[in-house]
Structure 1
Amino acid sequence: MKDNQFTQKSTIINPITNEEPKSIVLFGAESSGKSTLTKELANYYNVFSNPEFSRLYLDTKMKYANYEDTNALTFDDVEPIAIGQICSENSTKELAISHNHSFYFLDTNLLTTYIYSRFIYKNVPFWLEKAIQNQNYSHYLLLKPNTKWEFDKQRASDEGRQFFYKKMKEELEKRNINYSEITELNEKRLQEAIKRIDFLF
């Protein structure tokens, strides 16, 4: 890597092949910097990124149904969140393909929905496991929750953040999913992620 880690790269173009773009999932508990790092990486590589659908869903529900915090969500919301996540990811993938990008970034995925549903509601939609198995991602970046915890109405607590980080790491290990753990802070976090991606791809 060159010293200037923040110089935007030219869009990475695939030759005309049948190869699909690589998908890189930013994975981790709440307030671990996923959304910020997803945007920074997409900007650096000049490719597309997919936002976390559950936040968009909860924002809408809180706004129009007058809920004030995460209690706005129930188990009945898990299925529409999962469906929305799938549709959103598919749209971003199609954009990457249409622009001949080599890869794209995702701010969480269905596995996050599965883990939160299992531990918060003690239940998971019957079809979600099959849907997860049908998803094929190139690599996961697991973000260690060592950033300062920031309160907002969609978040629970720092204790909850640490709990779900452990469960997410356990789930990756149990499923034999390839991942890299991102542990640096501030600007070094982006540099660490870039170095890892450039090494892998």
Structure 2
Amino acid sequence: MEEKFKQIHSNIIKIVLFGPESTGKTTLSEQLARHYHSVWVPEYAREYLQDKWNEQRKTCEPKDLLPIAEGQMRLENKLVKKANKVLICDTDLLETKVYSEAYYIGHCDPILEKYALENTYDLYFLTYIDVPWEKDDLRDKPGERERMFQYFKNTLDTYNRTYVLLKGDKNTRLKTAIAHIDKLLDS
């Protein structure tokens, strides 16, 4: 059962966009994939939770986290086979772990935690909260952006993940991200 949360082996460089809601992760994921003529892994939780909201008018519950993690890894493992040198991930299981702990008072399912820590990526881009917050059906913490940003940053620091902080407008973020990915490709 747990195999479905594990990454398949690949020599592709894997990049994760990581940070609080409404900080430009999806926009940047699309831009980077286009720049590198590759693919990007969308955030499975968005589709899953939007469907849940549309059908039941319910938001995320603890029982949703393992299906979300499974769906995320299924997408990643499928798309890594189609990637061209670089796979851009709009999220990863470590982000799901952060949300689990932030929303459910420090609780994270042991299976989710195990694979959030075991799955590896070459670089994280931590997206800062200096872009306007955009409301939608799923976003619900506009007043907690600073607290959530610190939670994400502390998680990367705690687990010794290699990351670059992205600040500024879309073009500045894109240029910074490309410069760091190019360094990885050159090494």
Q: TM-score, normalised by structure 2?
A: 0.88
Counterpart residue identity of residue 128, structure 1:
L
C-alpha change, 1:20 and 1:157, in structure 2 (3 Å) is: same
C-alpha change, 1:23 and 1:171, in structure 2 (3 Å) is: same
User: Residues 131 and 168 of structure 2 are in contact (CA less than 8 Å); yes or no, is this contact kept in structure 1?
Assistant: no
CA displacement 1:8-50 (0-9 Å, x = unmatched):
xxxxxxxxxx961010001110000000000011011110100
C-alpha displacement of 1:63: 2.0
For the residue of structure 2 that corresponds to 1:142, the secondary structure is strand
Counterpart residue identity of residue 118, structure 1:
E
- Residue range with higher mean Cα deviation, 152-161 or 51-60: 152-161
C-alpha displacement of 1:131: 1.0
Counterpart residue identity of residue 53, structure 2:
M
Name the counterpart of 1:200: 184
* Equivalent position to 1:117, from 100, 114, 117: 100
How many equivalent pairs are there?
Answer: 176
Q: Which ranges in structure 2 are unaligned for 5 or more consecutive residues?
A: 1-8
Counterpart residue identity of residue 195, structure 1:
A
For the residue of structure 2 that corresponds to 1:72, the secondary structure is coil
Name the counterpart of 1:72: 59
User: Residues 31 and 161 of structure 1 are in contact (CA less than 8 Å); yes or no, is this contact kept in structure 2?
Assistant: no
Q: How does 1:43-82 map to 2 (within 5 A)?
A: 43-65=34-56, 67=57, 71-82=58-69
1:83 to 2:66 alignment: no
Name the counterpart of 1:15: none
1:160 to 2:147 alignment: no
1:106 to 2:93 alignment: no
| C-alpha distance in 1 between matches for 2:178 and 2:154 | 24
Counterpart residue identity of residue 68, structure 2:
I
Q: How does 1:142-157 map to 2 (within 5 A)?
A: 142-157=126-141
Q: TM-score, normalised by structure 1?
A: 0.83
More helix as a share of residues: 2
Question: What's the RMSD between the two structures over aligned residues?
Answer: 1.5
| C-alpha distance in 2 between matches for 1:95 and 1:19 | 11
| C-alpha distance in 2 between matches for 1:111 and 1:150 | 23
| C-alpha distance in 2 between matches for 1:41 and 1:29 | 19
User: Residues 49 and 106 of structure 1 are in contact (CA less than 8 Å); yes or no, is this contact kept in structure 2?
Assistant: yes
Name the counterpart of 1:126: 110
1:24 to 2:15 alignment: yes
For the residue of structure 1 that corresponds to 2:126, the secondary structure is strand
For the residue of structure 2 that corresponds to 1:127, the secondary structure is helix
For the residue of structure 1 that corresponds to 2:140, the secondary structure is coil
